[in-house]
Amino acid sequence: MEKTLIQLEHIHKSYGKQTIIEDLSLEVRDGEFLTLLGPSGCGKTTLLRMINGFETPDKGEVLLDGVNQVAIQPNKREVNTVFQSYALFPHLTVRENIEFSLKMKKVDKNEIKERVDEVLELTNLEALASRKPGKLSGGQQQRVAIARSLVNKPKVLLLDEPLGALDLKLRKQMQIELKKMQRRLGITYVYVTHDQEEALTISDRIVVLNKGNIEQIGEPFEIYHSPKTEFVASFLGESNFFEGKYENGVFHYGDAKIPVEANGTKDANLLSVRPEYININLGKTEENALEAMVTEVTYLGQTNRIELKLKDGKKVYALSEIEELEKGKKVFLTFHSKECTLLKKQEQ
C-alpha cells in the first residue's frame, strides 16, 4: 500500500464573501508527481499556498506525514516552493545562490559543499556554478531555482507554474528534465499548471479543479480517455458534445443512432467524442453516419484539423489526413464506439 504523505482534510477558504475552496479533501502519495490542473481562479495556487503555509485555511487540516501543519510557520515546514519568477540574487553566483539558505541555517561548511555539489550535478549546472544569473538563459535560471529548493532536502517540492516564463521549445525540454529529476530523487512533487498538455506529459496523477472543487483525480491516460464530467472532457484537450439520450448501446442524437460501447454514466444525456475518434468518410458507409459539410481545414503538420457543420447547424471538429477535403465538401461522419464517453450535462 502506497504511503500518503500529504492530506488535505475538509479545506475551506474564502476571501471576504468569495468562496475559493469549499470542503475539499485530497491525498498526495509519497514520491509521486501530482499536478493540480485547472483554469485561472479555480483554487489550485491557493491549495499550494496552504501546503507551504503562505495561506491558512478557514477550516480544515493540512497534514504532512500525519502532522497538522496549520500552526507551523512556513520556514519550519519540510516543503520548498519554486515559483514562476526565479527570484535569484543577481549579485551572487549560481553556487552562492544555491548555498545561501544553508548558510542562513548555519549548516556545516563541508556539508554545504557536499550538498551543493550534489544538486549542481543533478541539475546539470556544474559548468555554470561560477556564473551570475544575468549570464544565464531562462531555462538555466529555472534550474538554479529548482536546485536552490532541492538543496534543502524537502519532503515535498511545490512548483507554481514554474515554466510559464519559458518559450515553448525550452518549456518542453524542462518538462522532461523535471520528470527525470523527480524520478531520480524520489521527492514528492505537487505541481500547479493551467497547461493541459504539460499536465499530461509530466504527471503521475492529475487533479482537475473547477471553481474550488475537484472534478476528477486520475492518471493522465484515464483523465483524457475516461473523463467523468463535461468540464473535464472540455478542459483537458478538445471534445465534441452531442445532446441526446442513451439506450441499450445506442446514443440517440436527433434521428441518428450512434453505437456506443458504454463508457460513462448509463443515464447519459451527453456524448463526448474527441476529434481524433471521428472518422470522415467521403461516401456514406453506415446507415447512421452523420452528414456534414467541411467549413474549414487547418494544416497541423502531420494531420489536418477539420471544422465541419452538421445538417442541424452544429459545429464538429475532427482530425484527418484525407487530401480531398476542402471547404464546402459533403462528407459523412462515424465515431469510434469504444472511445465515446457518456456524460451528464452540467449546469453552467
Rounded to the nearest integer, the mean pLDDT of the chain is 91
Q: Which pTM does this prediction carry?
A: 0.90
Domain ranges of the chain: 4-231, 240-343
Q: Which residue has the cell 510559464?
A: 164
Report the percent of the chain where pLDDT is more than 90.
68
3-class secondary-structure state, position 75: helix
pLDDT of residue 129: 92
pLDDT of residue 285: 79
168 or 243, higher pLDDT: 243
Task: List residues bridging with 37 in a β-sheet.
Answer: 193, 208
Residue whose C-alpha is closest to residue 59's, from 29, 32, 21: 21
CATH of 240-343, one of 3.30.70.580, 2.40.50.140, 2.60.120.10, 2.60.40.790: 2.40.50.140
CATH of 4-231, one of 3.40.50.1860, 3.40.50.800, 3.20.20.140, 3.40.50.300: 3.40.50.300
Report the percent of the chain where pLDDT is more than 70.
99
Dump pLDDT digits (tens) for 293-309.
999 999 888 899 999 99
Does residue 255 carry a pLDDT above 90?
Answer: no
Q: How far is residue 348's CA from residue 330's CA, in Å, rounded to a whole number?
A: 33
Residue 162: pLDDT band with limits 50, 70, 90: confident
Dump pLDDT digits (tens) for 70-122.
999 998 899 999 887 778 899 999 999 999 989 988 889 999 999 999 889 88
Pairing of strands 188-193, 156-160: parallel
Residue spans of alpha helices (H) in 74-212? 94-104, 109-122, 138-150, 168-185, 196-202
Q: What is the mean pLDDT of residues 299-324?
A: 92
Residue 137: pLDDT band with limits 50, 70, 90: confident
Dump pLDDT digits (tens) for 257-301.
999 987 778 789 999 999 999 999 998 878 889 999 999 999 888
pLDDT of residue 348: 64
Q: How far is residue 76's CA from residue 187's CA, in Å, rounded to a whole number?
A: 18
Q: What is the mean pLDDT of residues 28-45?
A: 94
Q: Which of 7-16, 39-48, 160-169 has the lowest mean pLDDT?
A: 160-169
